Structure 1
Amino acid sequence: MPTTAPQARTVLEWFPAGHPRGSWPADEYAATQRAQGTDARVVMDLASDQFLVVANATAQ
């Protein structure tokens, strides 16, 4: 069975999951990064209870 190597990601910023606005601050930050050309998205890190804004590392 073929497997693929996990893609390297860079954490751009993190936001506490307990924030009164939930993931909105992380979503807004990711949208700003995308507007500037960075392929950013929000993921939930259950171990740290935080929303992470991550970008895929690009091969040079």
Structure 2
Amino acid sequence: MARIANRFGRIEPRRVAGAYVRELLADIDRKNCWNLAEHLGLTGPQALQRLLRPRWDADAVRD
């Protein structure tokens, strides 16, 4: 996350992105926003869904 943190304008999306990546690597059977949010202890998938609607440069993060 240290390598891509500067691609996010605010701390909140950075934290959500870090949590999202950790959850994708976790041992969870189904990896959709609802299940990941539940595993993170969130009340719903909205934060993860907002992250997936990029306002950040996805190509720059990938590179």
Per the TM superposition, whether the score is higher than 0.5 is no
Q: Which has the larger radius of gyration?
A: 1
Q: TM-score, normalised by structure 1?
A: 0.31
Q: TM-score, normalised by structure 2?
A: 0.30
